[in-house]
Chain A
Amino acid sequence: MKKSRAIQYDNASQRLKASAYVYNIGAKEAKRRILKTIDKKFSNLHRKGKIHIHDLETYKYTYNCLQLDVLKGFPYDKFSKYSNSRKIIEIIRHFENLINKLGHEQSGGIGFPNIDDEISILFEKLKIPDSTENLQVLRDNLESLVDWLNEAHERNCQYSFYVTFNLGLSTKKVGRFVTRTVIEYFKNTALDVIKPNIIFKLKNGVNYLPEDPNYDLFCLSLESTCKKMIPTYLLFDSAVNVKLDPYKVAIMGCRTKVVANLFGEPRSIGRANIDYVTINLPRIALEIDRDHPKASVDEKFKLFEKMWKETAVLVKRILIDRYRRLLKLSPKDFLCNYEFNLWTVDFKSAKSMEDIFKNGTLSIGFIGLSEAVEVLSGKKFYSSDKDHARAIALVKFMREVVDGFRSEHNLNFTLLATSGEMISGRFPEADKKLFDHPVLKKEFYTNSFHVDVDSDLHPVQKIQYEGPFHSYCNGGCISYVEFSSAPLRNVEAVKEVIKAGIEYGVNYLGINYPLDECQSCGEMGTFEDCPKCRGKDILRIRRVSGYLENLDYFTPGKKAEERRRRPNAFIHEPRREG
């Protein structure tokens, strides 16, 4: 379906309809009221585009995103009467039910930390034999779940559900079957099947090496990545993750990572990100550039640290303010969590909301490191070792400050490398009104610590430059390598990128490329008009903020960024010297 050109969407997964208009009026009013009720210092920062308080409309109503513990509160008793096929149907229906309910109960994404293992354990506990017939029923229902995730734009009457399947580790028959089925279906269905986000958990000894039991699933995953950009890869052999238990750690498709916990063991399962606020890094740099034109580059970087910290202290206070407001709610305000015990702490037996929510993370995000460094030093941070070292030192400093907040307040503060679908355009738009600088010409700010999308760096170089930042961004981060079109069956290329990712300390990795499909004849590739039938009705799929979306629905900032994306590896017309 083509979108109406008259409508400007603020999120690529959005599809407007009557009830959505009503919801949006309410959401706008809720935002207005919140900005009036919180400290003026906070609301001014947000209004002026120095920071962005994400999911503002739900400020006092709910947390952000959750890696569900589906097993603990699973309604096992209800299943005892069912036939085997009904049990399988109801497992998947239960998942769908959780997604639907949680999608309205929280503001952000829903992660299944090990969907392969979880279904395998449910088969065991519910005594469903792993027979061919039962596996066929499972296949049908998993495929149906994927279809539903692509068709449902029901969250808040307009958005799809942000759902992530983490998988690839289970070596049991049913678990392996789940991984194979989900990836195969995703890989072989039409281009407009773009949900859920699938994250392949890669671990030496389980699936990375040819002698590993799930190596065949890794190979299948690579084929799918080559064809449809999904799965992305969570690298457990990378220095930043190597000490973590791969079964306990998972990632949200957008990149959010919840691991370390002041109140328990490091794990993601049953834990949430409570709230997050992103700081506009280029704004700080532009203020320094304007107010201290004679300062040396080193002095400017020092000033940056000072000013960033001042902003971060206010951001911290906002995050705590929101957190405290959420603590005033009752466990029964979270009906789905209350009923199905999806957190590490049971909502039914918890003494207080604090007992539950203290296990979540409060994230301080950033975007536009590239533009900020360019404003301060006059150069891209990947143009010299010196500027690269400065950029790393800056992010390290930010992490140290965030860790300081963590000890000071005994709360799980983390540093998040934000992608910021909406703010990538909102921040520069606000900054343009105040400053005139070359970094503002391109109408968007670069994702978190990424090198510019038109850097022309070799894929391995991009990984080398971005790798060092991964160890500091404990609230989540990703590196992408941009290919100029689908790498067809060049799985080795994707494998080499993954290998480099592991070598250079990348936590989470994705491969991007423009993916076009002619709606008249079905030709796939990367093109303006169809090379086969000259058709002009082209479906264009791109990745935005971790999820695949239809380019027609991109926000203005992300559209501007997409136009400048340049491959890190070439396909069509190789660049050559004369």
Chain B
Amino acid sequence: MILIINSIDYTGSIVDGPGIRTVLYVQGCNQRCEGCHNPRTWDIKAGKSVPTADIADEIRRKSMTKNLTISGGEPLLQIPAVLELVKNLEDFDIALYTGLTLEDVPKELQSRLHYVKVGHYDKSKHCSTVDYVGSTNQCFIDLRRVSS
């Protein structure tokens, strides 16, 4: 299965979820939030098409920690490929950043994620002091804590 991606950052993020995380930016987003930190990922026709197995192999090889955040772009525009990728990285601690709601994340995908960040970016509610979100309307959820 093919996932269209923008880039993978292996330098180690400490703001896209707990721990030091590798961040995969998928390509394509229809939310177009004003003040988006990554507008180059909007264009649905741009990006690189890569088989999910290859992405998983590369991440496994290059990631310095077993923590991955799937961001974008809007990952939920490519649910089947994202699900396939997540299945390929079962031993990874995975977070998903979506501009949509928790209900939009399929249960099968949710069950394989540790964290999910939901809600679009609202420039007027920008904040730099709340963990792992860009604006106060967004929510960072620990799915394992919720389910247990």
Contacts and interface: CB of A to CB of B under 8 A. Distances in A.
In the complex, which of the residues A487, A496, A497, A531 has the most CB atoms of chain B within 10 Å of its own CB atom? A496
Contact of B23 (A458, A496, A574): A574
A496 B11 contact: no
Interface in B110-148: 128-129, 131-132
Interface string B10-25: 1111110011100101
A488 B129 contact: yes
B134 to A, nearest CB: 11
A461 B62 CA distance: 11
B12 A459 contact: yes
A29 interface: no
Interface residues of B, number: 23
B6 interface: yes
B13 A569 contact: yes
Interface in B21-62: 23, 25, 37-38, 40
Contact of B10 (A458, A497, A573): A458
B128 A525 contact: yes
Contacts of A496: 19-20, 65
A492 B128 CA distance: 19
Given A571-B14, A575-B9, A461 B64 contact: yes
A578 B40 contact: yes
A525 to B, nearest CB: 6
B18 A573 contact: no
Contacts, number: 73
A490 interface: yes
B131 A576 contact: no
A490 B14 contact: yes
Contact of A459 (B20, B23, B132): B20
A460 B132 CA distance: 21
Given A460-B64, A577-B6, A578-B40, A569 B11 contact: yes
Interface string A202-226: 0000000000000000000000000
A576 B64 contact: no
Contact of B12 (A460, A531, A573): A460
B101 interface: no
Contact of A574 (B13, B19, B20, B65): B13
Given A490-B19, A492-B19, A574-B9, A460 B65 contact: yes
In the complex, which of the residues A458, A461, A489 has the most CB atoms of chain B within 10 Å of its own CB atom? A458
A490 B9 contact: no
A576 B40 contact: yes
Nearest to A464: B64
A511 to B, nearest CB: 10
Nearest to B62: A458
Interface string A562-578: 00000011110111111
B36 to A, nearest CB: 12
B7 interface: yes
For the complex, would chain B's binding face be called helix, strand, loop or mixed by DSSP majority? loop
Contact of B18 (A459, A461, A490, A577): A490
A525 B131 CA distance: 13
Contacts of A497: 20
A571 B14 CA distance: 6
Contact of B131 (A456, A483, A489, A570): A489
A461 B63 CA distance: 10
Interface in B53-79: 64-65
B20 A488 contact: no
A575 B131 contact: no
A355 to B, nearest CB: 50
A570 B19 contact: no
A575 B10 CA distance: 10
A345 interface: no
B19 to A, nearest CB: 4
Contacts of B25: 576
Contacts of B131: 488-490
Interface in A521-578: 525, 531, 568-571, 573-578
A239 interface: no
B6 A576 contact: yes
A329 interface: no
B11 to A, nearest CB: 6
Contacts of B129: 488, 525
Contact of A576 (B14, B19, B20, B38): B38
Nearest to B38: A576
A576 B72 CA distance: 11
A493 interface: yes
Contacts of B37: 573-574
Contacts of B64: 458-461
B12 A490 contact: no
Nearest to A568: B12
A490 B13 CA distance: 11
Contacts of A573: 37
Contacts of B15: 490, 570-571
A356 B14 CA distance: 48
A490 B9 CA distance: 19
Contacts of B7: 576-577
B20 to A, nearest CB: 5
A553 to B, nearest CB: 27
A487 B14 contact: yes
A575 B128 CA distance: 18
A531 B128 contact: yes
B86 to A, nearest CB: 20
Interface of B: 6-7, 9-15, 18-20, 23, 25, 37-38, 40, 64-65, 128-129, 131-132
Given A496-B20, A569-B12, A574-B38, 10 more contacts: A458-B20, A459-B64, A490-B131, A493-B18, A569-B14, A571-B15, A574-B23, A574-B37, A575-B9, A576-B7
Please name the 3 residue pairs, one residue from A and one from B, whose CB atoms are nearest each other, closest first.
A492-B18, A492-B19, A577-B7
28 contacts: A456-B11, A458-B10, A458-B11, A459-B20, A460-B12, A460-B64, A460-B65, A461-B64, A487-B14, A488-B131, A490-B15, A490-B18, A493-B18, A495-B19, A497-B20, A525-B129, A568-B12, A569-B14, A569-B20, A570-B9, A570-B12, A570-B14, A570-B15, A574-B38, A575-B9, A576-B38, A576-B40, A578-B40
